[in-house]
Structure 1
Amino acid sequence: MNKYLDIAPEVAEALAAGKPVVALESTIISHGMPYPQNVETALKVEQIIRDAGAVPATIAIIGGRLKAGLSKEEIDYLGRTGAGIPKASRRDLPVLVAQGKDGACTVTTTMMIADMAGIRVFATGGIGGVHRGAQETFDISADLEELANTSVMVVCAGAKSILDLGLTLEYLETHGVTVIGYGTSELPAFYTRKSGFGVDYELDTPEQLAKAFHVKRELGLRGGLLVTNPIPEEYSMDKEVIDKAIAEAVEDAKKDGIHGKATTPYLLAKIKDLTGGDSLDSNIQLVFNNARLGAAAAVELSKLEK
């Protein structure tokens, strides 16, 4: 085991016994929503996973240690400190660990640490991707590169709709990442169920998801499997309303000179303000929905890998 990695006892016991475990990210706690709503949401997500028969492993960097599984006190610390904890992507890990600092794990670092710990399923909100205007800025999320290289099934509500979804799909195709639509042939766009873009394959049950990922691993193919799970209909936002809010937020970001890893938190906060908080409610519900599916897929995968 990596000497910088701490696996929580409950998670370690589950992994040793071949029981299902689901990884969760911590950026959504520190950067995704205000305190105490962030902590309440994180604990509810963990409970949803337990209720579905799996063990949750929220992942973060605390005091220079890579943590796979957090205590309630550690989750509260991340939520209370909020944006005071830096977002940690692949490039940040060496320095944060060397200096004994904290880091809120993105999709990229959650995948990395989950893989180190032997956790094969990860449920999140939405992945990063190719930003609008990337042909000039080269602003492409490290999440895509991680999906191409790290063997973890990622369950999400699609790429965040603040991105260039067409270019994001092109990038994933180039890197050999299979994009699955859960019960849909159309890529969901985070806040909405529709994007106008197709996925590679539609699969309709947790068993099918688990089998596809299991076979990928047995074939010796590197990289993850991207499962896009549409937000439940009752929480889906009106496409015109959200598209208008995103366009306005993107323009504001340009005017304010926002770029790099500050972009996503800035845009999500702007969209929350522009939609009167509706986008935050949708964000929370789609995370709950992905946690349920991630747990169901992990349960099925554990049966195949025994």
Structure 2
Amino acid sequence: MNYVKVSDEVQVALNEGKPVVALESTIISHGFPYPQNVELAFKVEEVIREQGAVPATIAILDGKICVGLSEDEINLLGKSPEAYKASIHDIPMILSNKGIGATTVAATIYGAHLAGIRFFATGGLGGVHYGVTESNDISADLPTLAKYKICVVSAGVKSILDIPKTVEYLETLGVPCYGYETDKYPSFYTRDAGIPVEKINKESLVKLLKTQDQMDLNYGVSVVVPIPEEDELDSEMINNTIEEALQEANEKNITGKKVTPFLLAKIKEKTKGVSVNANFALMINNAKTAAIIAKEYCEK
């Protein structure tokens, strides 16, 4: 496909059957301010390399879906106010205009699929928003995950979302969800959302994925990893903070793509930056876990 540009490092790894882990780029352009965003992006790539895998950060640049970014390209995304928060349905518009697009989970899944990458690490999935019966606001991440054979490693869905409804909707879509060495579905900033999940280890997961490869079952697999215990936030504090932020967003009639950045900014403000440190920790942990799984998968 003329619209895809895979970096030499990523292409060589794919050709040689080495482990590759895809990464989204909205965490760079819309997740944190500069230079924290760029520092996190480099740290996540470093952690993946330390585990013997190759990172493939994905973004839309110069009319191409770029799979594997240079340091300059990551810095460009980190500094650019024009970077568009690109979901899967935005890709043709951004490509045709040769704009800068930072890929969400949905767009990154599609880019990884085009490049032939099996694993993707992210912070949290999008999902079903509170008040869905009135707004019908459900992230494109979920139906996209149901369409492409990608193993997505995350800390669950973003805590600002309706977690029980999101987990139920994933089941409706036919997307299996497994807890990596846990039987408790995490709540992003905390380790337990009060929802059970099927526990799985590295060996069993790889065996499952290899079996799926031999079948005509083209859906993603959601693997959830709890935030490290030492970085977990107090559940009552974070839940109260999220509830206040949701109420303020509703009062200000903030909707659509503006909701998530508004809520994250409010949570950061109300927790005096502690939520940012937790977000960093879980993203690094997810990337490390995805690289470990990807390496085991390739060695088998």
Specify the TM-score bucket, using the shorter chain as the normaliser: over 0.9
**Residue pairs, 1:141-290, within 5 angstroms:** 141-199=139-197, 201-204=198-201, 206-290=202-286
Higher mean displacement: 208-217 or 249-258: 208-217
The superposition leaves residues 231-270 of structure 1 with CA deviations (integer Å, 9 ceiling, x where unpaired) of 0000000000000000000001111111111111111111
CA distance in 2, matches of 1:99, 1:255: 35
Partners in 2 of 1:135 and 1:214 — Cα distance? 38
1:150-190 CA distances to partner (integer Å, 9 max, x unpaired)?
Answer: 11000000111111111101110111100100111111011
User: CA–CA distance in 2 between the matches of 1:103 and 1:290?
Assistant: 23
Question: CA separation in 1, counterparts of 2:87 and 2:203?
Answer: 31
Cα RMSD over matched residues? 0.8
TM-score by length of 1: 0.96
Kept in 1, the 8 Å contact 2:19–2:295? The answer is yes
Q: Aligned residue for 1:4?
A: 3
Counterpart-to-counterpart distance in 2, 1:207 and 1:291: 18
Question: Which 4+ residue blocks in structure 1 deviate beyond 3 angstroms?
Answer: none
- Counterparts of 1:15 and 1:107, CA distance in 2: 21
% identity of equivalent residues: 50
Q: What amino acid sits opposite 1:122 in the alignment?
A: F
Q: Which AA in structure 1 matches 2:126? A: G
Where does the alignment leave 5 or more consecutive residues of structure 2 unmatched? none
Measure, in 2, the Cα distance between the counterparts of 1:260 and 1:218.
Answer: 39
Q: Report the AA paired with residue 108 of structure 1.
A: A
Q: TM-score, normalised by structure 2?
A: 0.98
Task: Please name the residue that 1:37 is paired with.
Answer: 36
2:105 is aligned with 1:107: yes
Question: What's 2:69 paired with?
Answer: 70
Superposed CA deviations along residues 116-146 of structure 1, whole A, max 9, x for unmatched, are 0000000010000000001110000000001
* 1:119 match: 117
Q: Which residue of 2 aligns with 1:138?
A: 136
Q: Which position in structure 2 is the counterpart of 1:53?
A: 52
Q: Alpha-carbon deviation of 1:84?
A: 2.8
How many residues get paired? 300
Select 2:84's aligned residue among 73, 79, 86.
86
Shift of 1:208: 2.2
1:90 CA displacement: 1.2
Asked if structure 1 preserves the Cα contact closer than 8 Å seen for 2:82 and 2:100, the reply is no
